Structure 1
Amino acid sequence: MAGLNTGFANHIAPGVTTLCHCWQVTRADGAVFAFTDHDMPLAFAGVAFRADTGLSARALAQTSGLSVDNTEALGALSDDAIREDEIEQGRFDGAEVQAWLVNWAEPAQRVLQFRGSIGELHRTGGSFRAELRGLTEPLNRPLGRVFQKPCSAVLGDGDCRFDLTTPGYAEERAVETVAEAQCFRWAAFPGYDEGWFARGRLDVLDGPAAGLWGIVKRDYHEDGQRVIELWEPIRGAVAEGTRVRLTAGCDKRMETCRLKFNNLLNYQGFPDLPGEDWMMAVPRSDGANAGGSRR
Protein backbone atom coordinates (compact mmCIF):
# COMPACT_ATOMS: atom_id res chain seq x y z
CA MET A 1 0.00 0.00 0.00
CA ALA A 2 1.35 3.38 -1.04
CA GLY A 3 1.66 6.20 1.46
CA LEU A 4 1.18 4.09 4.61
CA ASN A 5 1.50 6.50 7.55
CA THR A 6 2.29 5.73 11.16
CA GLY A 7 -1.14 6.70 12.43
CA PHE A 8 -2.86 4.36 10.02
CA ALA A 9 -0.47 1.52 10.86
CA ASN A 10 -1.13 1.97 14.57
CA HIS A 11 -4.88 1.96 13.92
CA ILE A 12 -4.95 -1.35 12.05
CA ALA A 13 -2.40 -3.10 14.31
CA PRO A 14 -4.90 -4.19 17.05
CA GLY A 15 -7.23 -5.75 14.45
CA VAL A 16 -10.32 -3.75 15.50
CA THR A 17 -10.70 -0.94 12.99
CA THR A 18 -13.06 1.79 11.78
CA LEU A 19 -12.24 1.66 8.07
CA CYS A 20 -14.10 2.62 4.90
CA HIS A 21 -13.29 3.26 1.26
CA CYS A 22 -13.17 6.63 -0.50
CA TRP A 23 -12.94 7.34 -4.23
CA GLN A 24 -12.18 10.51 -6.15
CA VAL A 25 -12.92 10.72 -9.88
CA THR A 26 -11.47 13.65 -11.86
CA ARG A 27 -12.71 14.02 -15.42
CA ALA A 28 -10.77 15.49 -18.32
CA ASP A 29 -12.93 18.63 -18.14
CA GLY A 30 -11.87 19.19 -14.50
CA ALA A 31 -15.12 18.08 -12.83
CA VAL A 32 -14.43 16.22 -9.56
CA PHE A 33 -16.67 13.55 -8.02
CA ALA A 34 -15.91 12.07 -4.60
CA PHE A 35 -17.67 9.17 -2.88
CA THR A 36 -17.40 6.94 0.19
CA ASP A 37 -19.05 3.68 1.24
CA HIS A 38 -19.27 5.00 4.82
CA ASP A 39 -22.76 5.91 6.09
CA MET A 40 -21.70 9.53 6.74
CA PRO A 41 -19.91 12.08 4.54
CA LEU A 42 -16.16 12.46 4.99
CA ALA A 43 -13.72 15.21 4.06
CA PHE A 44 -9.95 15.37 3.72
CA ALA A 45 -7.39 17.06 1.47
CA GLY A 46 -9.97 19.73 0.67
CA VAL A 47 -12.40 17.23 -0.91
CA ALA A 48 -15.84 16.28 0.42
CA PHE A 49 -16.75 12.62 -0.08
CA ARG A 50 -20.46 11.90 -0.42
CA ALA A 51 -22.07 8.95 1.37
CA ASP A 52 -25.45 8.84 -0.41
CA THR A 53 -24.39 7.52 -3.82
CA GLY A 54 -24.61 3.77 -3.31
CA LEU A 55 -21.07 3.40 -4.64
CA SER A 56 -19.10 0.26 -3.79
CA ALA A 57 -15.99 -1.47 -5.10
CA ARG A 58 -14.80 -4.98 -5.67
CA ALA A 59 -11.50 -6.38 -4.42
CA LEU A 60 -8.42 -4.70 -5.85
CA ALA A 61 -6.10 -6.92 -7.90
CA GLN A 62 -2.48 -5.73 -7.97
CA THR A 63 0.69 -7.33 -9.32
CA SER A 64 4.41 -6.57 -9.24
CA GLY A 65 4.85 -6.97 -13.01
CA LEU A 66 3.55 -4.98 -15.97
CA SER A 67 0.14 -6.64 -16.09
CA VAL A 68 -2.71 -4.21 -15.53
CA ASP A 69 -3.84 -3.58 -11.96
CA ASN A 70 -7.61 -3.51 -12.00
CA THR A 71 -10.75 -3.40 -9.93
CA GLU A 72 -14.35 -2.35 -10.48
CA ALA A 73 -16.50 0.38 -9.04
CA LEU A 74 -20.21 -0.25 -8.85
CA GLY A 75 -22.82 2.38 -8.17
CA ALA A 76 -26.29 3.78 -8.68
CA LEU A 77 -26.98 6.60 -11.10
CA SER A 78 -28.39 9.80 -9.60
CA ASP A 79 -29.22 13.20 -11.04
CA ASP A 80 -26.85 15.10 -8.74
CA ALA A 81 -23.86 12.71 -8.87
CA ILE A 82 -22.94 10.47 -11.82
CA ARG A 83 -25.69 10.92 -14.39
CA GLU A 84 -26.68 8.45 -17.06
CA ASP A 85 -26.57 11.02 -19.85
CA GLU A 86 -22.98 11.99 -18.96
CA ILE A 87 -21.92 8.35 -19.12
CA GLU A 88 -23.64 8.05 -22.50
CA GLN A 89 -21.80 11.16 -23.71
CA GLY A 90 -18.44 9.64 -22.73
CA ARG A 91 -17.56 12.38 -20.26
CA PHE A 92 -16.12 9.83 -17.80
CA ASP A 93 -13.98 8.01 -20.36
CA GLY A 94 -10.35 8.01 -19.23
CA ALA A 95 -11.12 9.94 -16.02
CA GLU A 96 -8.47 9.78 -13.27
CA VAL A 97 -9.41 7.68 -10.24
CA GLN A 98 -7.90 7.56 -6.75
CA ALA A 99 -9.05 5.15 -4.04
CA TRP A 100 -8.19 5.34 -0.34
CA LEU A 101 -8.68 3.11 2.68
CA VAL A 102 -9.63 5.59 5.40
CA ASN A 103 -10.14 5.53 9.15
CA TRP A 104 -13.50 7.29 9.20
CA ALA A 105 -13.02 8.22 12.88
CA GLU A 106 -9.78 10.05 11.96
CA PRO A 107 -9.64 10.71 8.17
CA ALA A 108 -6.02 11.89 8.41
CA GLN A 109 -5.20 8.22 8.93
CA ARG A 110 -5.54 6.82 5.43
CA VAL A 111 -3.65 4.98 2.72
CA LEU A 112 -3.86 5.38 -1.05
CA GLN A 113 -4.77 1.93 -2.37
CA PHE A 114 -5.23 2.62 -6.04
CA ARG A 115 -4.52 5.25 -8.65
CA GLY A 116 -5.37 4.91 -12.31
CA SER A 117 -8.12 5.67 -14.79
CA ILE A 118 -11.56 4.53 -15.88
CA GLY A 119 -11.48 1.95 -18.66
CA GLU A 120 -14.71 0.41 -19.88
CA LEU A 121 -17.84 1.86 -18.33
CA HIS A 122 -21.19 0.12 -18.66
CA ARG A 123 -24.65 1.14 -17.52
CA THR A 124 -27.49 -1.28 -16.85
CA GLY A 125 -30.86 -0.02 -15.73
CA GLY A 126 -30.31 2.48 -12.95
CA SER A 127 -26.72 1.50 -12.16
CA PHE A 128 -23.25 1.60 -13.67
CA ARG A 129 -20.16 -0.61 -13.65
CA ALA A 130 -16.76 1.03 -14.20
CA GLU A 131 -13.56 -0.88 -14.88
CA LEU A 132 -10.61 0.80 -13.18
CA ARG A 133 -7.18 0.44 -14.79
CA GLY A 134 -3.90 0.98 -12.96
CA LEU A 135 -0.94 3.18 -13.86
CA THR A 136 0.83 0.31 -15.67
CA GLU A 137 -1.93 0.04 -18.28
CA PRO A 138 -0.27 2.47 -20.77
CA LEU A 139 2.89 0.32 -20.70
CA ASN A 140 0.97 -2.47 -22.46
CA ARG A 141 0.14 -0.33 -25.47
CA PRO A 142 2.09 -1.06 -28.66
CA LEU A 143 4.49 1.72 -29.63
CA GLY A 144 6.42 2.47 -32.77
CA ARG A 145 6.03 4.14 -36.12
CA VAL A 146 4.03 2.73 -39.02
CA PHE A 147 5.69 3.08 -42.42
CA GLN A 148 2.86 3.84 -44.84
CA LYS A 149 2.05 6.19 -47.69
CA PRO A 150 -0.64 8.23 -45.88
CA CYS A 151 0.39 10.62 -43.11
CA SER A 152 0.29 9.03 -39.66
CA ALA A 153 -0.09 12.31 -37.75
CA VAL A 154 -3.29 13.85 -36.44
CA LEU A 155 -3.96 17.30 -37.84
CA GLY A 156 -2.58 19.86 -35.39
CA ASP A 157 -0.73 17.44 -33.09
CA GLY A 158 2.96 17.50 -32.11
CA ASP A 159 4.03 15.63 -35.24
CA CYS A 160 1.87 17.59 -37.68
CA ARG A 161 2.63 20.98 -36.06
CA PHE A 162 -0.01 22.74 -38.11
CA ASP A 163 -1.55 25.72 -36.28
CA LEU A 164 -5.30 25.16 -36.32
CA THR A 165 -5.87 28.79 -35.28
CA THR A 166 -4.62 29.90 -38.70
CA PRO A 167 -7.38 32.01 -40.31
CA GLY A 168 -9.45 30.04 -42.82
CA TYR A 169 -9.12 26.64 -41.17
CA ALA A 170 -11.78 26.91 -38.49
CA GLU A 171 -15.22 28.47 -38.33
CA GLU A 172 -17.43 29.20 -35.33
CA ARG A 173 -21.14 29.79 -35.87
CA ALA A 174 -24.57 29.10 -34.41
CA VAL A 175 -26.52 26.04 -35.51
CA GLU A 176 -29.39 26.94 -37.84
CA THR A 177 -30.92 23.53 -38.53
CA VAL A 178 -29.96 20.17 -37.04
CA ALA A 179 -31.42 16.69 -37.47
CA GLU A 180 -30.77 13.97 -34.86
CA ALA A 181 -27.60 15.77 -33.67
CA GLN A 182 -25.85 14.45 -36.79
CA CYS A 183 -26.83 16.47 -39.87
CA PHE A 184 -26.29 20.25 -39.67
CA ARG A 185 -27.52 22.74 -42.30
CA TRP A 186 -26.82 26.43 -42.93
CA ALA A 187 -28.53 28.64 -45.49
CA ALA A 188 -25.38 30.70 -46.11
CA PHE A 189 -21.85 29.46 -45.55
CA PRO A 190 -19.49 31.46 -47.81
CA GLY A 191 -15.72 31.38 -47.91
CA TYR A 192 -15.08 27.62 -47.90
CA ASP A 193 -14.95 25.18 -50.78
CA GLU A 194 -17.27 22.21 -50.79
CA GLY A 195 -15.65 19.33 -48.91
CA TRP A 196 -13.34 21.67 -46.96
CA PHE A 197 -14.50 20.29 -43.61
CA ALA A 198 -14.80 16.62 -44.67
CA ARG A 199 -12.76 14.42 -42.25
CA GLY A 200 -12.54 17.42 -39.92
CA ARG A 201 -14.20 18.02 -36.54
CA LEU A 202 -17.34 19.63 -35.25
CA ASP A 203 -16.98 20.75 -31.61
CA VAL A 204 -19.97 21.84 -29.53
CA LEU A 205 -19.08 25.00 -27.61
CA ASP A 206 -22.13 25.58 -25.38
CA GLY A 207 -25.40 24.05 -24.25
CA PRO A 208 -25.94 20.61 -22.67
CA ALA A 209 -23.51 18.97 -25.14
CA ALA A 210 -20.68 21.46 -24.60
CA GLY A 211 -17.30 19.74 -24.90
CA LEU A 212 -18.54 16.94 -27.14
CA TRP A 213 -17.39 16.59 -30.74
CA GLY A 214 -17.80 14.48 -33.85
CA ILE A 215 -15.91 13.66 -37.06
CA VAL A 216 -17.31 15.14 -40.29
CA LYS A 217 -18.30 12.48 -42.80
CA ARG A 218 -19.57 14.70 -45.63
CA ASP A 219 -19.46 18.41 -46.45
CA TYR A 220 -21.64 19.33 -49.43
CA HIS A 221 -24.33 21.64 -50.83
CA GLU A 222 -27.95 20.59 -51.17
CA ASP A 223 -30.99 22.71 -52.09
CA GLY A 224 -28.96 25.88 -51.65
CA GLN A 225 -27.81 24.92 -48.15
CA ARG A 226 -24.43 23.92 -46.73
CA VAL A 227 -24.70 20.46 -45.17
CA ILE A 228 -22.28 19.06 -42.59
CA GLU A 229 -22.95 15.38 -41.85
CA LEU A 230 -21.17 13.53 -39.04
CA TRP A 231 -20.24 9.86 -38.91
CA GLU A 232 -22.09 9.48 -35.60
CA PRO A 233 -24.59 11.70 -33.76
CA ILE A 234 -23.35 13.97 -31.00
CA ARG A 235 -24.17 12.16 -27.75
CA GLY A 236 -26.01 15.11 -26.26
CA ALA A 237 -28.76 17.62 -27.01
CA VAL A 238 -27.81 20.12 -29.73
CA ALA A 239 -30.51 22.71 -30.37
CA GLU A 240 -30.79 25.54 -32.86
CA GLY A 241 -28.66 28.48 -31.76
CA THR A 242 -25.99 26.29 -30.16
CA ARG A 243 -22.48 27.50 -30.97
CA VAL A 244 -20.25 25.01 -32.77
CA ARG A 245 -16.75 25.13 -34.22
CA LEU A 246 -15.89 23.44 -37.51
CA THR A 247 -12.26 22.51 -38.21
CA ALA A 248 -10.90 21.75 -41.68
CA GLY A 249 -10.32 18.10 -42.51
CA CYS A 250 -7.25 16.28 -43.82
CA ASP A 251 -7.31 13.11 -45.95
CA LYS A 252 -3.64 12.30 -45.09
CA ARG A 253 -2.40 12.63 -48.70
CA MET A 254 0.83 14.42 -49.52
CA GLU A 255 -0.95 16.61 -52.09
CA THR A 256 -3.42 17.77 -49.45
CA CYS A 257 -0.64 18.54 -46.98
CA ARG A 258 1.19 20.61 -49.59
CA LEU A 259 -1.68 22.41 -51.30
CA LYS A 260 -4.33 22.78 -48.59
CA PHE A 261 -2.20 23.26 -45.49
CA ASN A 262 1.22 24.28 -46.89
CA ASN A 263 2.76 21.93 -44.33
CA LEU A 264 4.75 19.49 -46.45
CA LEU A 265 7.89 19.77 -44.28
CA ASN A 266 5.99 18.08 -41.47
CA TYR A 267 4.35 15.36 -43.56
CA GLN A 268 4.59 12.10 -41.62
CA GLY A 269 3.89 9.63 -44.44
CA PHE A 270 6.11 7.93 -47.02
CA PRO A 271 4.51 8.73 -50.41
CA ASP A 272 7.24 6.97 -52.43
CA LEU A 273 6.97 3.69 -50.54
CA PRO A 274 6.43 0.94 -53.14
CA GLY A 275 3.45 -1.37 -52.86
CA GLU A 276 3.60 -5.05 -51.97
CA ASP A 277 3.22 -6.08 -55.62
CA TRP A 278 6.51 -4.31 -56.37
CA MET A 279 8.35 -6.76 -54.11
CA MET A 280 6.99 -9.66 -56.16
CA ALA A 281 7.44 -8.09 -59.58
CA VAL A 282 9.37 -9.90 -62.32
CA PRO A 283 11.46 -8.30 -65.07
CA ARG A 284 9.45 -6.77 -67.90
CA SER A 285 10.40 -5.39 -71.29
CA ASP A 286 7.75 -2.67 -71.20
CA GLY A 287 6.41 -0.32 -68.57
CA ALA A 288 7.81 0.18 -65.10
CA ASN A 289 7.50 -1.89 -61.95
CA ALA A 290 6.42 1.03 -59.81
CA GLY A 291 4.07 -0.80 -57.49
CA GLY A 292 0.94 0.68 -59.03
CA SER A 293 -2.14 -1.18 -60.19
CA ARG A 294 -2.14 -2.80 -63.64
CA ARG A 295 -5.08 -2.73 -66.00
Structure 2
Amino acid sequence: MSGISVELESHLSGEITTHCFCWIIRRTDKVVFGFTDHDRTLLIDGVSCEPQTGLSASEAASALGLSVDTAEIEGALSSLAISDGDIERGAFDGASVETFLVNWAAPEQHTLLRSSRIGTISRSGGRFVAELKSSSVDLDKIKGRRITRQCDAQLGDHRCGYNGAAQKGTVVTVLSDREIVVKGLQPPDGNWFRNGKLTLANGGMNVVLAHQPYGEGIRLSLRDAAIPDIMVGDAFALTAGCDKSFAQCKAKFGNVANFRGFPHLPGNDAVYNFADGKGNFDGGPLVR
Protein backbone atom coordinates (compact mmCIF):
# COMPACT_ATOMS: atom_id res chain seq x y z
CA MET A 1 0.00 0.00 0.00
CA SER A 2 1.29 3.46 -0.83
CA GLY A 3 1.21 6.31 1.65
CA ILE A 4 1.04 4.05 4.73
CA SER A 5 3.36 4.80 7.61
CA VAL A 6 5.90 2.18 8.65
CA GLU A 7 4.13 1.78 12.00
CA LEU A 8 0.69 1.14 10.45
CA GLU A 9 2.15 -1.18 7.81
CA SER A 10 3.86 -3.18 10.53
CA HIS A 11 0.62 -3.33 12.51
CA LEU A 12 -1.39 -4.57 9.53
CA SER A 13 1.23 -7.26 8.88
CA GLY A 14 0.77 -8.68 12.35
CA GLU A 15 -1.40 -11.62 13.36
CA ILE A 16 -3.78 -9.43 15.39
CA THR A 17 -5.00 -6.05 14.14
CA THR A 18 -7.03 -3.29 15.79
CA HIS A 19 -8.25 -1.30 12.84
CA CYS A 20 -11.50 0.48 11.97
CA PHE A 21 -12.83 2.96 9.44
CA CYS A 22 -13.36 6.69 9.89
CA TRP A 23 -15.17 9.11 7.62
CA ILE A 24 -14.67 12.87 7.56
CA ILE A 25 -17.45 14.71 5.71
CA ARG A 26 -16.72 18.26 4.56
CA ARG A 27 -19.82 20.07 3.35
CA THR A 28 -19.72 22.85 0.79
CA ASP A 29 -20.73 25.34 3.51
CA LYS A 30 -17.44 24.51 5.35
CA VAL A 31 -19.17 22.46 8.07
CA VAL A 32 -17.11 19.36 8.96
CA PHE A 33 -18.30 16.10 10.57
CA GLY A 34 -16.40 13.01 11.66
CA PHE A 35 -17.75 9.48 12.10
CA THR A 36 -16.30 6.06 12.87
CA ASP A 37 -17.53 2.48 13.12
CA HIS A 38 -15.45 2.09 16.32
CA ASP A 39 -17.05 2.28 19.78
CA ARG A 40 -15.23 5.39 21.03
CA THR A 41 -14.31 8.83 19.71
CA LEU A 42 -11.17 8.99 17.58
CA LEU A 43 -9.25 12.15 16.67
CA ILE A 44 -8.19 12.08 13.01
CA ASP A 45 -6.39 15.08 11.49
CA GLY A 46 -7.87 17.34 14.16
CA VAL A 47 -11.45 16.12 13.60
CA SER A 48 -13.30 14.19 16.31
CA CYS A 49 -14.93 11.16 14.74
CA GLU A 50 -18.19 10.30 16.48
CA PRO A 51 -18.61 6.63 17.50
CA GLN A 52 -21.54 4.27 17.11
CA THR A 53 -23.46 6.37 14.60
CA GLY A 54 -24.81 3.38 12.72
CA LEU A 55 -22.66 4.14 9.69
CA SER A 56 -21.23 1.31 7.62
CA ALA A 57 -19.44 1.21 4.28
CA SER A 58 -19.97 -1.03 1.29
CA GLU A 59 -17.22 -2.51 -0.82
CA ALA A 60 -15.54 0.22 -2.85
CA ALA A 61 -15.22 -0.46 -6.56
CA SER A 62 -12.08 1.02 -8.11
CA ALA A 63 -11.10 0.97 -11.75
CA LEU A 64 -8.21 1.98 -13.96
CA GLY A 65 -8.58 4.66 -16.60
CA LEU A 66 -11.19 7.41 -16.60
CA SER A 67 -14.18 5.44 -15.29
CA VAL A 68 -15.83 6.65 -12.09
CA ASP A 69 -15.01 4.80 -8.87
CA THR A 70 -18.02 4.19 -6.65
CA ALA A 71 -18.80 3.20 -3.10
CA GLU A 72 -21.62 3.68 -0.62
CA ILE A 73 -22.05 4.74 2.98
CA GLU A 74 -25.15 3.39 4.64
CA GLY A 75 -26.46 4.22 8.08
CA ALA A 76 -29.30 5.10 10.34
CA LEU A 77 -30.25 8.68 11.07
CA SER A 78 -29.03 8.21 14.63
CA SER A 79 -26.40 10.92 14.65
CA LEU A 80 -27.46 14.39 15.73
CA ALA A 81 -25.12 15.72 13.03
CA ILE A 82 -27.09 14.14 10.17
CA SER A 83 -30.78 14.96 10.21
CA ASP A 84 -33.46 14.01 7.73
CA GLY A 85 -34.18 17.70 7.21
CA ASP A 86 -30.56 18.45 6.25
CA ILE A 87 -30.60 15.66 3.68
CA GLU A 88 -33.92 16.86 2.30
CA ARG A 89 -32.74 20.45 1.79
CA GLY A 90 -29.53 19.28 0.13
CA ALA A 91 -27.05 20.31 2.81
CA PHE A 92 -24.89 17.25 2.10
CA ASP A 93 -25.14 17.41 -1.72
CA GLY A 94 -21.67 17.62 -3.24
CA ALA A 95 -19.92 17.21 0.12
CA SER A 96 -16.49 15.55 0.11
CA VAL A 97 -15.97 12.36 2.09
CA GLU A 98 -12.52 11.19 3.21
CA THR A 99 -12.31 7.52 4.16
CA PHE A 100 -9.52 6.53 6.57
CA LEU A 101 -8.17 3.20 7.75
CA VAL A 102 -7.24 3.72 11.40
CA ASN A 103 -5.51 1.72 14.10
CA TRP A 104 -7.94 2.51 16.90
CA ALA A 105 -5.39 1.47 19.54
CA ALA A 106 -3.07 4.19 18.18
CA PRO A 107 -5.19 6.66 16.13
CA GLU A 108 -2.11 8.56 14.96
CA GLN A 109 -1.54 5.50 12.76
CA HIS A 110 -3.99 6.12 9.95
CA THR A 111 -4.02 6.43 6.20
CA LEU A 112 -6.37 8.02 3.69
CA LEU A 113 -7.92 5.29 1.55
CA ARG A 114 -9.98 7.46 -0.78
CA SER A 115 -11.46 10.90 -1.19
CA SER A 116 -14.92 10.94 -2.74
CA ARG A 117 -17.89 13.19 -3.26
CA ILE A 118 -21.47 12.53 -2.21
CA GLY A 119 -23.73 11.92 -5.17
CA THR A 120 -27.24 10.57 -4.78
CA ILE A 121 -28.70 10.21 -1.27
CA SER A 122 -31.72 7.95 -0.83
CA ARG A 123 -33.76 7.40 2.33
CA SER A 124 -36.00 4.55 3.41
CA GLY A 125 -37.39 3.56 6.78
CA GLY A 126 -35.28 5.95 8.83
CA ARG A 127 -32.05 4.95 7.05
CA PHE A 128 -30.05 6.63 4.36
CA VAL A 129 -27.65 5.47 1.65
CA ALA A 130 -25.14 7.98 0.30
CA GLU A 131 -23.46 7.14 -3.00
CA LEU A 132 -19.83 8.19 -3.15
CA LYS A 133 -18.13 9.04 -6.44
CA SER A 134 -14.51 9.76 -7.26
CA SER A 135 -13.31 12.99 -8.84
CA SER A 136 -13.54 11.27 -12.24
CA VAL A 137 -17.24 12.12 -12.18
CA ASP A 138 -16.28 15.66 -13.22
CA LEU A 139 -15.35 14.25 -16.63
CA ASP A 140 -19.01 13.32 -17.17
CA LYS A 141 -20.31 16.83 -16.57
CA ILE A 142 -21.90 18.59 -19.50
CA LYS A 143 -20.02 21.68 -20.62
CA GLY A 144 -21.98 24.21 -22.62
CA ARG A 145 -25.48 23.39 -23.88
CA ARG A 146 -27.28 20.30 -25.05
CA ILE A 147 -29.08 20.42 -28.38
CA THR A 148 -32.51 19.11 -27.42
CA ARG A 149 -36.10 19.87 -28.29
CA GLN A 150 -36.94 20.71 -24.69
CA CYS A 151 -36.02 24.03 -23.06
CA ASP A 152 -32.94 23.91 -20.81
CA ALA A 153 -33.70 27.10 -18.86
CA GLN A 154 -35.38 27.24 -15.45
CA LEU A 155 -38.74 28.95 -15.37
CA GLY A 156 -38.28 32.57 -14.29
CA ASP A 157 -34.46 32.69 -14.47
CA HIS A 158 -32.51 35.25 -16.51
CA ARG A 159 -32.43 32.99 -19.58
CA CYS A 160 -36.15 32.29 -19.43
CA GLY A 161 -37.09 35.89 -18.74
CA TYR A 162 -40.67 35.09 -17.74
CA ASN A 163 -42.03 37.33 -14.98
CA GLY A 164 -44.70 36.20 -12.56
CA ALA A 165 -43.59 32.56 -12.39
CA ALA A 166 -43.82 32.47 -8.58
CA GLN A 167 -46.62 33.38 -6.17
CA LYS A 168 -46.46 33.58 -2.39
CA GLY A 169 -48.93 32.12 0.06
CA THR A 170 -49.51 30.83 3.58
CA VAL A 171 -50.56 27.43 4.90
CA VAL A 172 -53.94 27.57 6.66
CA THR A 173 -54.72 23.86 7.15
CA VAL A 174 -52.68 20.63 7.10
CA LEU A 175 -54.94 17.78 5.94
CA SER A 176 -52.18 15.12 5.80
CA ASP A 177 -48.46 14.82 5.12
CA ARG A 178 -49.21 15.29 1.40
CA GLU A 179 -52.32 17.51 1.45
CA ILE A 180 -52.43 21.13 2.60
CA VAL A 181 -54.81 24.06 2.24
CA VAL A 182 -53.30 27.45 1.47
CA LYS A 183 -54.32 31.03 0.85
CA GLY A 184 -52.78 33.83 -1.19
CA LEU A 185 -52.56 32.00 -4.53
CA GLN A 186 -54.35 33.17 -7.65
CA PRO A 187 -53.85 30.53 -10.36
CA PRO A 188 -55.20 31.52 -13.80
CA ASP A 189 -56.48 27.98 -14.37
CA GLY A 190 -56.72 24.56 -12.74
CA ASN A 191 -53.39 23.30 -14.12
CA TRP A 192 -51.28 26.39 -13.52
CA PHE A 193 -49.33 25.01 -10.55
CA ARG A 194 -49.31 21.37 -11.66
CA ASN A 195 -45.73 20.09 -11.28
CA GLY A 196 -44.77 23.47 -9.82
CA LYS A 197 -42.00 23.81 -7.24
CA LEU A 198 -43.06 24.60 -3.66
CA THR A 199 -40.38 26.29 -1.54
CA LEU A 200 -41.17 26.75 2.15
CA ALA A 201 -39.68 29.42 4.36
CA ASN A 202 -38.40 26.66 6.70
CA GLY A 203 -36.17 25.33 3.90
CA GLY A 204 -38.40 22.47 2.77
CA MET A 205 -39.09 21.88 -0.92
CA ASN A 206 -41.72 19.82 -2.71
CA VAL A 207 -43.57 19.40 -6.00
CA VAL A 208 -47.29 20.10 -6.42
CA LEU A 209 -49.11 17.35 -8.29
CA ALA A 210 -52.51 19.05 -8.41
CA HIS A 211 -54.50 21.93 -6.93
CA GLN A 212 -58.18 22.70 -6.62
CA PRO A 213 -60.45 25.15 -4.76
CA TYR A 214 -61.13 24.19 -1.15
CA GLY A 215 -63.47 26.49 0.76
CA GLU A 216 -61.92 29.94 0.74
CA GLY A 217 -58.48 28.55 -0.03
CA ILE A 218 -56.75 26.17 -2.43
CA ARG A 219 -55.95 22.54 -1.72
CA LEU A 220 -52.48 21.40 -2.83
CA SER A 221 -51.57 17.75 -3.38
CA LEU A 222 -47.84 17.21 -2.83
CA ARG A 223 -45.60 14.60 -4.41
CA ASP A 224 -43.64 13.78 -1.24
CA ALA A 225 -44.22 13.81 2.48
CA ALA A 226 -42.95 17.17 3.70
CA ILE A 227 -39.60 17.28 5.55
CA PRO A 228 -39.49 19.13 7.86
CA ASP A 229 -43.19 18.94 8.67
CA ILE A 230 -45.40 21.68 7.26
CA MET A 231 -47.09 23.73 9.96
CA VAL A 232 -50.09 26.06 9.88
CA GLY A 233 -48.84 29.59 9.23
CA ASP A 234 -45.80 28.52 7.20
CA ALA A 235 -45.05 30.89 4.33
CA PHE A 236 -44.02 29.58 0.94
CA ALA A 237 -43.37 30.47 -2.70
CA LEU A 238 -44.88 28.37 -5.48
CA THR A 239 -43.77 28.48 -9.10
CA ALA A 240 -45.97 27.55 -12.01
CA GLY A 241 -45.42 24.13 -13.53
CA CYS A 242 -43.46 23.96 -16.77
CA ASP A 243 -42.86 20.80 -18.81
CA LYS A 244 -40.11 22.51 -20.90
CA SER A 245 -42.03 22.01 -24.15
CA PHE A 246 -42.38 24.56 -26.95
CA ALA A 247 -46.16 24.11 -26.96
CA GLN A 248 -46.52 24.97 -23.27
CA CYS A 249 -44.07 27.87 -23.50
CA LYS A 250 -46.24 29.34 -26.24
CA ALA A 251 -49.74 28.57 -24.94
CA LYS A 252 -49.24 28.87 -21.18
CA PHE A 253 -46.58 31.55 -20.81
CA GLY A 254 -46.50 33.37 -24.15
CA ASN A 255 -42.72 33.31 -23.94
CA VAL A 256 -41.72 31.73 -27.26
CA ALA A 257 -39.11 34.44 -27.98
CA ASN A 258 -37.10 33.20 -24.99
CA PHE A 259 -37.55 29.46 -25.55
CA ARG A 260 -34.15 27.82 -24.97
CA GLY A 261 -34.67 24.57 -26.85
CA PHE A 262 -34.50 23.48 -30.49
CA PRO A 263 -38.01 22.20 -31.28
CA HIS A 264 -37.57 22.31 -35.06
CA LEU A 265 -34.84 19.68 -35.14
CA PRO A 266 -36.06 16.34 -36.55
CA GLY A 267 -35.47 13.33 -34.34
CA ASN A 268 -35.88 9.57 -34.57
CA ASP A 269 -39.64 10.01 -34.66
CA ALA A 270 -39.32 11.82 -38.00
CA VAL A 271 -37.40 8.85 -39.42
CA TYR A 272 -40.06 6.41 -38.24
CA ASN A 273 -42.85 8.58 -39.64
CA PHE A 274 -41.15 8.58 -43.03
CA ALA A 275 -40.92 4.79 -42.98
CA ASP A 276 -44.58 4.18 -42.15
CA GLY A 277 -45.81 6.88 -44.50
CA LYS A 278 -47.86 8.68 -41.85
CA GLY A 279 -45.62 11.72 -41.44
CA ASN A 280 -46.08 15.14 -43.00
CA PHE A 281 -43.00 16.05 -45.03
CA ASP A 282 -44.13 19.17 -46.84
CA GLY A 283 -41.08 21.18 -45.79
CA GLY A 284 -43.03 23.13 -43.15
CA PRO A 285 -41.98 23.63 -39.51
CA LEU A 286 -42.25 20.70 -37.12
CA VAL A 287 -43.93 22.89 -34.51
CA ARG A 288 -45.98 26.06 -34.76
The amino acid across from 1:229 in the alignment is S
In structure 1, C-alpha distance between the alignment counterparts of 2:128 and 2:286, rounded to whole Å: 51
TM-score relative to the length of structure 2: 0.70
Match of 1:197 in 2: 193
Question: Does residue 97 of the first structure (1) align with residue 97 of the second (2)?
Answer: yes
Question: What SS does structure 1 have at the residue aligned with 2:7?
Answer: helix
Seen in structure 2, the aligned counterparts of structure 1 residues 74 and 226 have a Cα distance that, compared at 3 Å, is closer
TM-score relative to the length of structure 1: 0.69
Of 1, 5, 10 in structure 1, the residue corresponding to residue 6 of structure 2 is 10
- Check conservation: 1:118, 1:131, Cα contact below 8 A: yes
Match of 2:176 in 1: 180
Question: What SS does structure 1 have at the residue aligned with 2:6?
Answer: helix
Alignment of 1:4-43 (within 5 A): 4=3, 8-15=4-11, 19-26=19-26, 32-43=32-43
- Check conservation: 2:264, 2:286, Cα contact below 8 A: no
- Check conservation: 2:147, 2:262, Cα contact below 8 A: no
Question: What SS does structure 1 have at the residue aligned with 2:97?
Answer: strand
Query: 1:107 deviation in Å?
Result: 5.1
Seen in structure 2, the aligned counterparts of structure 1 residues 135 and 156 have a Cα distance that, compared at 3 Å, is farther
Query: 1:23 deviation in Å?
Result: 0.3
In structure 2, C-alpha distance between the alignment counterparts of 1:123 and 1:220, rounded to whole Å: 30
In structure 2, C-alpha distance between the alignment counterparts of 1:127 and 1:183, rounded to whole Å: 24
Alignment of 1:58-137 (within 5 A): 58-78=58-78, 80-82=80-82, 85-86=84-85, 89=88, 95-104=95-104, 110-116=110-116, 117-119=118-120, 121=122, 123=124, 130-137=130-137
Query: 1:215 deviation in Å?
Result: 2.0
Query: 1:99 deviation in Å?
Result: 0.9
In structure 2, C-alpha distance between the alignment counterparts of 1:108 and 1:163, rounded to whole Å: 56
Structure 2: segments with no counterpart, 5+ residues: none
Match of 1:217 in 2: 209
Match of 1:50 in 2: 50
Match of 2:159 in 1: 161
Query: 1:51 deviation in Å?
Result: 1.7
Count of aligned pairs: 276
Question: What SS does structure 2 have at the residue aligned with 1:237?
Answer: coil
- Check conservation: 1:96, 1:118, Cα contact below 8 A: no
In structure 1, C-alpha distance between the alignment counterparts of 2:278 and 2:199, rounded to whole Å: 53
Question: What SS does structure 1 have at the residue aligned with 2:10?
Answer: coil
Match of 1:147 in 2: 148
Percentage of matched positions with identical amino acids? 34
Structure 1: segments with no counterpart, 5+ residues: none
Match of 2:219 in 1: 227
Query: 1:49 deviation in Å?
Result: 0.9
Seen in structure 2, the aligned counterparts of structure 1 residues 14 and 232 have a Cα distance that, compared at 3 Å, is closer
